[in-house]
Amino acid sequence: MPKLVIIYGTGSHNTEKMAQAIEEGARTQGIETILKNVSNADKSDLYDADAIAIGSPNYRDLMMPSVQKFLDQLAGVNLSGKIGLAFGSYGWGLEAVQAIKKQLISYGVEMIKDLCVKRMPGEEELEICRSAGSLLAGKINDKEVKCAALVIRSV
């Protein structure tokens, strides 16, 4: 079954709410999901993921140090060809999400459009997060269908 792994940092739970809504949206597509605060995450969580969503709030124009440390640890992991999403809550700037996206691209991840919410997500923003989760899940479901078709053709 295709798998989405969502890892996030959060100070006051706004990015956490986004992460939970992304997972809710993805689950509507029937895929497997893992949702972890970065403090409980390990790079091995991503080994068999088809899609990864990494989130951080913007603090002092940067992502949270714990998220930065986690991303740096991924340098030796083969993430090439996985589908990715960078997301996070912010007050007035988008540096954290942009930096996550840039680093994941450098690892060969195919990113979909970023997801940024100002401060606490309301119902409308949560619905957008659910849609992003659903979109990610749809992309990895599609990949699986294409792979199955290739196998059928090569028999």
Ligand X SMILES: Cc1cc2nc3c(=O)[nH]c(=O)nc-3n(C[C@H](O)[C@H](O)[C@H](O)COP(=O)(O)O)c2cc1C
Write out the binding residues for ligand X, residues 91-130 only, by CB under 6 A.
91-93, 119
Q: Report the residue from 42, 48, 61, 142 that binds ligand X according to the rule CB under 6 A.
A: 61
Q: Is 37 a residue that touches ligand X (CB under 6 A)?
A: no
Write out the binding residues for ligand X, residues 2-31 only, by CB under 6 A.
10-15
* Helical axes 123-154 vs 14-27, angle rounded to 10°: 40
Q: Which token pair is 19?
A: 């992460």
Q: Report the residue from 20, 33, 58, 103 that binds ligand X according to the rule CB under 6 A.
A: 58
| Binding string, residues 72-91; x marks residues near ligand X by CB under 6 A | -----------------xxx
The DSSP element (H or E) to which 37 belongs, if any, is strand 32-37
Plot region of 64 (φ>0 → left; ψ -120 to 50 → alpha; else → beta): beta
**Residue with token string 């497997």:** 32
Residues that bind ligand X (CB under 6 A): 10-15, 57-61, 89-93, 119
